[in-house]
């Protein structure tokens, strides 16, 4: 998504920060979670390194709710450098597609839009046709925004397959292509506005 937006906006992309805070998922074997403090320090040092080499505008495209607080804290420490943090789901055009395709079944984790994007990029795997998960209330979504899902064992006990209100079986690769195109265009436009162009 970042590469597609960068192509539109004639921007450079840095490598992905592949490890992130995900403590709520530690009851799922194979999860690797780093602390918010470590993530903040890593992002801050990357911002500092880019600043050292002359970058004055750093645009962060986020894809994980638990990254937001440490990224914002790291951005506050950036000296002589403007940092803008956006998640790919922050844009009205993207959310309109998500709402039209999945409505309340978008959920919060292992969402059909995330699965559709992966399928668009890497090919459609035969994913299990799972029944709809537990539907989440608006209060639950508000209380757990930013990936505040609680203790790992309790989280897995409530959501044993990792889907948090998300009916991931609704995902289709063509949905992912539409979401990618909408997000890339929105990010490119926001990036240009960030530069003041």
Per-residue pLDDT of the chain (197 residues; tens, 9 = 90+): 999 999 999 999 999 999 999 999 999 999 999 999 999 999 999 999 999 999 999 999 999 999 999 999 999 999 899 999 999 999 999 999 999 999 999 999 899 999 999 999 998 766 668 889 989 998 988 898 888 888 999 999 999 999 999 999 999 999 999 999 999 999 999 999 999 95
- Quote the pLDDT of residue 7: 98
This prediction's pTM: 0.92
Q: To 10 degrees, the CA torsion angle through 132, 133, 136, 141? A: -110
Nearest alpha carbon to residue 46 among 33, 60, 36 = 60
CB 17 within 8 A of CB 39: yes
Supply the pLDDT for residue 127: 65
**Cβ atoms of residues 102 and 197 within 8 Å:** no
Which has the closest alpha carbon to 17: 80, 57, 68, 77? 68
Which pLDDT score, from 0 to 100, does residue 129 have?
Answer: 80
The confidence score (pLDDT) of residue 126 equals: 61
- pLDDT value for 172: 94
Would you state the pLDDT for residue 156? 94
- Which domains are present in the chain? 2-195 (3.40.50.10310)
At 128 the pLDDT is 66
């Amino acid at each position: 998504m970042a590469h597609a937006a960068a192509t539109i906006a004639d921007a450079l992309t840095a490598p992905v920060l592949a490890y992130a805070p995900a403590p709520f998922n530690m009851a799922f074997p194979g999860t690797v979670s780093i602390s918010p403090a470590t993530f903040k320090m890593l992002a801050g040092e990357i911002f500092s390194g880019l600043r050292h080499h002359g970058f004055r505008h750093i645009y962060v495209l986020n894809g994980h709710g638990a990254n937001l607080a440490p990224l914002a804290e790291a951005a506050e420490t950036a000296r002589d450098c403007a940092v803008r943090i956006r998640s790919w789901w922050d844009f009205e055009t993207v959310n309109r597609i998500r709402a039209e395709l999945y409505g309340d079944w978008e959920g919060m984790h292992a969402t059909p839009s995330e699965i559709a994007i992966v399928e668009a990029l890497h090919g459609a795997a035969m994913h299990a046709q799972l029944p709809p998960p537990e539907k989440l209330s608006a209060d639950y979504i508000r209380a757990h925004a930013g990936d505040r899902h609680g203790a790992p064992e309790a989280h897995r006990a409530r959501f044993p397959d990792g889907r948090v209100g998300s009916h991931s079986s609704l995902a289709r690769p063509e949905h992912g292509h539409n979401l990618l195109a909408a997000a890339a265009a929105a990010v490119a436009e926001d990036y240009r506005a960030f530069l003041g162009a």
